[in-house]
Amino acid sequence: MDHGRAAPAGGTGPWKRGGAARTALLLALLTLLALALRVYRLDDQSAWYDENHYFIAAAPDFQTYVDGVRVWAPDNVILYQVLFWGWTRIFGLSLVAGRLFTVLLGLTAVPLAFLLGRRVFSPAVGWYAALLAALSPALVWHAQTMRPYGLCVPLVLFGLYALLRAAAGGGWKWWAAALAANSAMMWTHPFMGFVLPAQGLYLLVRRPRGLRSAAGWAAANLPAVVPPALWVLQRLPFVPPAEYDHLIPPSAWTALVDAFGDDVAPWSSEFPVAPPGWAAALPPGAHTWAGALWMFFFAGAVIASLPLVWRRLRGNDAGPFLLLCAGLLPLLSLLLLSVLWRPCLEIRYTPYAVACLYVLAGGALLARPRRGARAAAAFLAALLAFQTAWILPAGSRTAWRAAAERIGREGGPGDAVLVKSVPLWGVDAFLGNRSLPLPPVIPAHTLESVCRKASRLFAEGKENVWVVFEMAFFGPETVEETLRSRLTPLNVTVSCRYYPGMMGLLLAKLSRTAGGAVPPAPPAAPAPSFTDYAALLGADGGVVAPEEVDAAREAVDLPLPDGPFAFGAAAMLLAEEGHFSLAERCARHALAFQADYPPALLALGIALDGLGRTREAETSLCEALALDPAYGRLYGRLFHRLFGRPDAVGAMRELERLAPLGYPYSLLSRMTLRRFPGAAAPDAGMRLPGVREYPR
């Protein structure tokens, strides 16, 4: 018996009458459908923080790019990023070109779902699984995202298919293909390693020699697992804690949605979307009912496959068992890891699982000759199509691109732009999505900073100030009300537009009243903030002066948990606003948590340099470079030309190399210009007067 493949079952459809040419044609049509869904509004999907390798892909050389990725995403392995770098060298750095790379990778999920369904069950199941894979909102999302998960899907599915072929006597080439897929997926994302136990269980339950096969497979995969594991383990101390990303332990509902609701918006954590325009015509609660029906029927179909899995397993055909394990075992592993380590049950960590469950659901429904089962299969596909129609036209990512385009069209050279966002990457994300020239762009890290900087800009004679405000923790009403209360007394009008999606974005245009002078800003209550400034500045038990709190309000207004990452980030933000004494204090707080934390040492060195304590700054910076080779390669030559053997020309050359990496380029430029005040920093779209600006 062929243990990796069931005999085709029932039906007289085109998959039985036609040959290879018809199969290829139908598969091509399904793939074209998938392509159409994945490129729809592709140019409207703004890049965001988790796609930071896109922002730094303009790095002048490969090593600088890789080191930039390692510094900003220390827990990442880098196969996807390396392939992405090669792609951009050929097709350019436009947003559409960058997204097309993952779109094309994601398209392979359609033929791979077909091959898995045909091999494990029947051609009919293969076609059904391919249809669901083409329609899947989860797979559309991952295909449109410049993140490794779009590559994980085809690698895992191909690895499963190759293993089925190998175990069915396909020869060493299929074993080698399965091993290569496993190695590639481990270098794509470390959590893909949870697929390997599913493969091992599949081999273990097969008779005869199941134990020997599983042990041999485990040994063969060691070279695929150990190097990427070591790559990640050495950088785990640099990974931000779960609290910083506001991750919470998973609930039973979270696990249920992760298992069977990947495709349901807004229950799935992957789809932070607003309702599309056509949803207004639906009865109230229609989408909730559609999501509940999808999860009920989909989970029911998977559960209905269990007797079939058992019967096939008793017949020594473990193909359905492999799909069941690959679809659910990684989820259970992440659930256990969330209890033992840190919350990490996220739908994006098992993007392939839904495709495996599509095949199982199709096997349960289409293996039954009853008409009702086939009607249920059609109804399930219709429910999935409804979810797809819901997410495609909706705003899903933070609308940086839409805001930048409006400012580019309507803004003038005499205007200014203030950007408030999640710390560190916000201005780079905004600028990375621009397609038109912009007025000068100034970071404003808090709502209080937005109000103060807007007041100063109007006092300097600006006619219009644009505010791009990312809605992390804040609501648009709060921001608009604060802007009006603080700026209307200055003869400034405020008009706002809210863009939903992901974090949400408020674009405000502040305009000086025609003919109206700008009076001095009257005393005002501080803008709303979520930061505990006493905890931030007084972590060592010292007294926090009111003027220190007032200064910190310009740098931080989001909740920051205890830990080196939060204090290190606060130190960088305070240094950027010129509050070097407070930056030093926060950096030392970070090092009290973790003495060998390079970002905190870097922040401390920058703060000390700003205070004129050059020797101490050099010592701190050298410690950071010694702890992390990526830091050494990125910044070592620049610091040598600043502290070791001062060299203005060499320092400018290093700044030119670092400029495309974005943050913290502005701080490095400021350090350099203090050393060589007559020099001109390479133009990375930045200049550094009293406030940092990015000229057109």
DSSP secondary structure letters along 116-167: HHHHHT-HHHHHHHHHHHHH-HHHHHHHHSSSTHHHHHHHHHHHHHHHHHII
* Res 3: pLDDT: 47
Dihedral sign for Cα 454, 457, 459, 465, please: negative
Q: At what angle do helices 210-233 and 195-205 cross, to 10 degrees?
A: 170
Give dist(CA 647, CA 679) in Å, integer. Answer: 11
Mean pLDDT confidence for 176-187: 97
Residue 259 burial by Cβ neighbours in a 10 Å radius (0-12, 13-18, 19+) = buried
Residue 135 pLDDT > 70: yes
Q: Which two tokens stand for residue 136?
A: 């899947």
Give the torsion through C-alpha atoms of 242, 325, 387, 108, to 10 deg. Answer: 100
DSSP H or E stretch at residue 416? strand 416-420
What is the gyration radius of the CA atoms in the chain, in angstroms?
28
Q: What is the pLDDT of residues 447-469, one digit of tens each?
A: 999 999 999 999 888 999 999 99
Strand, coil or helix: 76? coil
Phi-psi category of residue 394: left, alpha or beta, with phi > 0 → left and psi -120 to 50 → alpha: beta
| Contact (Cβ atoms closer than 8 angstroms) between residue 236 and residue 75 | yes
- Whether omega for the bond prior to residue 664 falls within 30 degrees of 0, making it cis, is yes
Strand, coil or helix: 398? coil
CA distances from 143 to 37, 50, 154, 385, 480 (A): 10, 14, 11, 17, 35
Q: Check residues 38 and 265 and name the one with the higher pLDDT.
A: 38
* Res 194: pLDDT: 96
Q: At what angle do helices 252-260 and 319-340 cross, to 10 degrees?
A: 150
Q: Check residues 186 and 662 and name the one with the higher pLDDT.
A: 186
Q: Which two tokens stand for residue 300?
A: 């029911």
Mean pLDDT confidence for 602-608: 97
Dihedral sign for Cα 637, 643, 644, 647, please: positive
Q: What is the pLDDT of residues 276-289, one digit of tens each?
A: 888 888 898 888 89
Residue 545 pLDDT > 60: yes
- What are residue 148's DSSP bridge partners? none
* Res 4: pLDDT: 52
Q: What is the pLDDT of residues 70-92, one digit of tens each?
A: 988 888 899 999 999 999 999 99
Name residue 685's amino acid.
Answer: G
* Res 689: pLDDT: 30
**Cβ-Cβ contacts under 8 Å for 296 (sequence gap 6 or more):** none
At residue 680 the predicted structure's pLDDT band, cuts being 50, 70 and 90, is: confident
What is the percentage of the chain residues whose pLDDT exceeds 70? 93
| Contact (Cβ atoms closer than 8 angstroms) between residue 552 and residue 537 | yes
At residue 516 the predicted structure's pLDDT band, cuts being 50, 70 and 90, is: low
Residue 159 pLDDT > 70: yes
Q: Check residues 7 and 292 and name the one with the higher pLDDT.
A: 292
- Whether omega for the bond prior to residue 208 falls within 30 degrees of 0, making it cis, is yes
Q: What angle do CA 665, 666, 667 make, to 5 degrees?
A: 90
* Res 26: pLDDT: 93
**Cβ-Cβ contacts under 8 Å for 593 (sequence gap 6 or more):** 562, 563, 564, 567
Residue 242 pLDDT > 80: no
What is the percentage of the chain residues whose pLDDT exceeds 90? 66
pTM above 0.85, yes or no: yes
DSSP H or E stretch at residue 465? strand 464-470
Q: Which two tokens stand for residue 14?
A: 């085109």
Residue 1 pLDDT > 80: no
